[in-house]
Amino acid sequence: SSRLRGKNVLITGASSGIGEACARHFAQAGSNLLLAARRKDRLEKLKKDLESQHSQIKVSTFELDVRNRAKVQATAATFGDVDVLVNNAGLVIGLEKLEDITEEAMDTMIDTNVKGLVHVTQAVLPGMRARDRGHIINIGSVAGQQAYGNGSIYCGSKAAVASISKALLFETIDTAIRISEINPGMVETEFSMVRFKGDKSKADSVYKGVHPLDGNDIAETVVFVAGRPEHVNIAEMLVFPTNQAAATTVYRKP
Ligand code: NDP
Ligand code: 8X3
Q: Could you tell me the domains of the chain?
A: 2-241 (3.40.50.720)
Give the nearest ligand 2 atom to 143 CA: 6
Q: Alpha carbon of 115 to those of 130, 133, 142, 164: distances in Å?
A: 23, 24, 19, 11
List, for residues 3-17, the tens digit of each pLDDT value.
Answer: 999 999 999 999 999
% of the chain residues with pLDDT over 70: 100
Ligand nearest to the CA of residue 35, numbered in listed order: 1
Centre a 10 Å sphere on the Cβ of residue 204 and count the other Cβ atoms it contains: 13
**Atom number, ligand 2, closest to the C-alpha of residue 247:** 6
Pocket of ligand 2 (CB under 6 A): 92, 141-143, 151, 186, 247
Position 148 pLDDT exceeds 80:
yes
Catalytic residue list contains 253: no
Query: Does the active-site annotation cover 148?
Result: no
Confidence of residue 165 (pLDDT cuts 50, 70, 90): very high
Interface pTM (ipTM) of the complex? 0.98
Q: Please report which confidence band the pLDDT of residue 207 belongs to, taking 50, 70 and 90 as the band edges.
A: very high
Compute, in angstroms, the gap from residue 56 CA to the centroid of ligand 2.
Answer: 36
Q: Is the pLDDT of residue 65 over 90?
A: yes
> Does 193 score more than 70 pLDDT?
yes
Cβ-based burial of 132 (10 A; exposed 0-12, middle 13-18, buried ≥19) = exposed
Confidence of residue 250 (pLDDT cuts 50, 70, 90): very high
Q: Which of 45, 47, 158, 202 is catalytic?
A: 158
**Residue range 174-181: average pLDDT?**
98
Evaluate if residue 1 carries a pLDDT over 90.
no
Closest atom, ligand 1, to C-alpha of 18: 25
Residues 6+ apart with CB under 8 A from 161: 87, 113, 114, 117, 138, 139, 140, 141, 144, 181
Q: For residue 106, what pLDDT is reported?
A: 98
